[in-house]
Amino acid sequence: MGRYRKILVAVDGSPTSLHALEESFKLAHNEGSWITVVSVIPPYTGDLDLVAVGGVMAAMRRPCEEALRKALELAEKQRALIKTVCEEGEPHERIIDLAQAENCDLIVIGRRGLRRLERVLVGSVTARVIGYSPIDVLVVTRDTNVGFKKVLIATDGSRYSELAKKRAIDFAGSYGGELVAVSAVDVPSELYAESPKTVEELVKKARSYVEAIKNEAGQTGIKTEVIVREGEAYRVITDTARETGANIIVMGSHGRTGLKRLLMGSVTEKVIGHTPCPVLVVKS
């Protein structure tokens, strides 16, 4: 316990963001964490010379204040202590800057929108927070609950996966949970005909990644199921999560990816767009 001493939760007043806040209360209780709740007013891009600009700014503040009011009501019902902050600026920048200023270990944010385009782009604020945050990000989808009884750890053998592996084993061990270690072999269809041995080697390498996790987790008595499948990585991960009844997906993110990369949809962003459960993106 105590992995996350301070948690920053971003809310915008939507049901999805408030659900993410409720889930953060449970995590904070178990981890013994402090919670700061932030809502961000986007920058005003209109004519600053207008006489009515004061009224415009007041109108822009109202959604922020309303979101924080709802957050305080939820906290009171749950008997949770929170600190609320209303920021102004580019949402993802203010969220990350505040998390660092408050020495937070985790950012919790909701994911809304299930339409096809939104699944691909995840949501610009969420995608940007994931891409640029130097600390872990927990994305909570609507109607899902954070749990650690069955933790799915996705690995591709990279150093980012190594960070995620340590976090997944830590949580599964602390909460008496089990692990599902999954690795995807995503190769072009023509490679099967041109170089079947290459595909075999890739499958063998993927199996070594999940077996390494099983061996390490087994040293602390954690039961681990290992799965290697061929197919698009995000589909393999999300389908496996559904089939195994995973409570949470833990995965790494390949550094501070640029905005273009984010909008094109990396594996992490695609997983979050299609996930049946919360996703913990490990950064540190």
Looking at the fold, whether 163 and 187 belong to one and the same domain comes out as yes
Looking at the fold, whether 19 and 122 belong to one and the same domain comes out as yes
* C-beta atoms surrounding 51 within 10 Å: 6
Q: Does 132 reside within a domain?
A: yes
Looking at the fold, whether 1 and 142 belong to one and the same domain comes out as yes
80, pLDDT greater than 50: yes
Looking at the fold, whether 105 and 208 belong to one and the same domain comes out as no
Q: Does 262 reside within a domain?
A: no
Q: Does 267 reside within a domain?
A: no
Q: What is the mean pLDDT of residues 222-239?
A: 95
Looking at the fold, whether 163 and 236 belong to one and the same domain comes out as yes
Looking at the fold, whether 159 and 139 belong to one and the same domain comes out as no
Looking at the fold, whether 32 and 105 belong to one and the same domain comes out as yes
For the chain, the domain total comes to 2
Looking at the fold, whether 86 and 201 belong to one and the same domain comes out as no
Amino acid 268: pLDDT: 85
Q: List pLDDT tens digits, range 83-119.
A: 999 999 999 999 999 999 999 999 999 986 444 434 4
Q: List pLDDT tens digits, range 52-65.
A: 555 666 777 888 99
Q: List pLDDT tens digits, range 240-276.
A: 999 999 999 999 976 444 444 444 357 888 898 899 9
209, 226 Cβ separation under 8 angstroms: no
Q: What is the pTM of this model?
A: 0.89
Amino acid 250: pLDDT: 97
Looking at the fold, whether 4 and 104 belong to one and the same domain comes out as yes
Q: Does 29 reside within a domain?
A: yes
Amino acid 60: pLDDT: 77
Looking at the fold, whether 36 and 168 belong to one and the same domain comes out as no
Cα(258)–Cα(74) distance, rounded to whole angstroms? 35
231, 184 Cβ separation under 8 angstroms: yes
Q: Does 10 reside within a domain?
A: yes
Looking at the fold, whether 130 and 15 belong to one and the same domain comes out as yes
